[in-house]
Amino acid sequence: MTVATATARSGPYAGNGSTTVFAYTFRVLDVAHLRVVLTSAAGVETVQTLTAQYTVSGVDAAGGGSITMVTAPAAGETLTILRNVPFTQETDYQNQGAYYAETVEDALDLLTMADQQLTEQIGRSVTLPVASSITDLALPTPTAERLIGWDDDGDALINYVPNTAAYVVAELADLTPTEAQQLQNIGDTTISAAQWGYLGAMSAFGATLIDDVDAAAARATLGLVIGTNVQAYNAILANLAGLSLSQGDILYRNASGLVALPPGTAGRFLQTQGPGANPQWDDVPGGWVYEAAQPASGTNIDVNIGAGSTDFDVFFSGVSLSGSGHFLMQLGDSGGIDTSGYASVSSAISSTPASVPDTSGFILFSASSGFLYYGVMSFRKGPGNIWFPIGNVYRSSSTISFPSGRKTLSGEITTIRFTATGGNNYDAGTIFVRYRRAA
């Protein structure tokens, strides 16, 4: 196969906290021939480790493939994919040995990929114009608080001491008490710019600013008037500056000052509580409220049901138990989860029809390990706090169950729990719940 493109780099891709698959658009001959670099919001680059932090697909494909990150890059992070072939030649041709065109072509492809890899790196380097005659250019040894610049001949780079006013001010701030006293003792002595050494390039205006005795004098030199072109201290602005806000936060004032209300759950609305009270998130009256999908794992799975709910729906997909037992759903109010008093039966349609009762919860299915269960159940509220189910459950063995029954709670429903008999755990699938409140 040929190397038909000069590309040796894909990205950078912006992270969003959820995307894990990123494409690379160039051919590689081995999973180890990629270099994946994660760059933080602060610009710190970290080379990712194959298998531990990402996997590769599409090896030897002409158009490339993709890498899958174990952890999705967060918002503010970027991901860059580079070709990273080794600079070795491991193909050994024997004198008068067999000739395999594919072997020769792969070796040539690897050399071409190495050239493209170097071209990509050179493309990110600093180079001199073509017409420049300077050769053997090298950077000086890194030195703290120094700038790199051209020497007087313009043919070499050296370290310079900054001569800006800002640098001078910073240096003055680092003086010890003794040094500061010595400088103060100079008093009104006139010091020429030349005597200040590297202050020689300071402008006359900069010199008048440095000799100001206090902040008021400095403001006068700069022409700044508080309340006109400089904001005077304001407690509300100071409060606002001290807040740590995230995307989606709502800013409001409580009894003490400005505070941030965290983002509400999707589908809810912001409701005012009248004068002297704080706003809060609330459910849409008469509308459906969707809870986040729950992974089916563990012994008990609890989901909250909003106050004033008149019905709720349960959707489950690919749910399974670790052993044989009843796939149950229990209801709870302010007193906790009720584990008795259910009039429940599950009627199964299969080659051997059967009905299975249970009084410890609504039995959705008499389950066995190794099967997956799918279904939709709707629970409606009758008079008082009586609840009854409507729906059916399908098992991967082509068996369908029709749960039915009723349960009377002592108070308003607050929670539903998915559990199982026989000490079994949920070990696969997802459960999704939505509820609706009275308008």
Residue 166, number of CB atoms within 10 A of its CB:
9
d(CA 108, CA 114): 10
The tokens describing 362, both together, are 């609504």
Specify the pLDDT at position 190: 57
Question: What is the token pair recorded at 265?
Answer: 């759950």
For 65, list phi and psi in degrees, rounded to 5: -160, -135
- As a whole number of angstroms, the distance between CA 13 and CA 72 comes to 11
pLDDT of residue 282: 78
Q: What is the rounded distance in angstroms from the CA atom of residue 70 to the CA atom of residue 73? A: 9
For domain 288-437, give the CATH number. 2.60.120
Indicate if the alpha-carbon torsion angle 124, 127, 130, 135 is positive or negative: negative
Q: What pLDDT score was predicted for residue 189?
A: 56
Please spell the DSSP secondary structure of 178-204, one letter per residue.
HHHHHHHHTTT----TGGGGGGGG--H
What is the reported pLDDT for 47?
Answer: 94
Residue among 333, 299, 351 nearest 407 (CA): 333
pLDDT of amino acid 388: 94
Phi-psi region of 405 (alpha: psi -120 to 50; beta: other; left: phi over 0): left
- Cα separation, 352 vs 347, in Å, equals 11
Q: Which residue has the tokens 């006293």?
A: 181
Cα dihedral across residues 46, 49, 55, 61: positive or negative: positive
Question: What integer pLDDT is reported at residue 284 of this predicted model?
Answer: 67
Note the pLDDT of residue 385.
92
- Nearest CA among 261, 303, 265, 294 for reference residue 278: 261
Tokens matching residue 47: 């080379």
pLDDT of the residue at 50: 95
CA distances from 143 to 80, 147, 172, 175, 250 (A): 31, 8, 20, 20, 47
- Gap between the Cα atoms of 266 and 288, Å rounded: 11
For 104, 381, 388, 409, the CA distances from 434, given in Å and listed in that order, are: 62, 14, 16, 20
- The amino acid present at 382, given as its one-letter code, is G
* Residuewise pLDDT in 10s, the chain (439 residues): 677 777 889 999 999 999 999 999 998 989 999 999 999 999 999 999 999 999 999 998 988 999 999 999 999 999 999 998 887 777 767 787 776 677 777 767 777 777 777 777 777 777 778 788 888 888 888 888 788 888 888 888 888 877 666 666 666 767 777 776 666 666 545 555 455 544 445 677 777 777 788 888 888 888 888 878 777 877 888 888 888 888 888 888 888 888 888 887 776 788 888 888 999 887 666 677 888 788 888 889 999 998 889 999 999 899 988 888 888 999 999 999 999 999 999 888 876 677 889 999 999 887 777 889 899 999 999 998 999 999 988 988 778 888 999 999 999 999 999 998 888 889 899 999 999 877 6
What pLDDT is recorded for position 197?
Answer: 46
Q: What's 257's DSSP letter?
A: S
* Identity of the amino acid at 347: S
Six token digits for residue 216: 């008021």
Q: Which two tokens stand for residue 50?
A: 């194959």
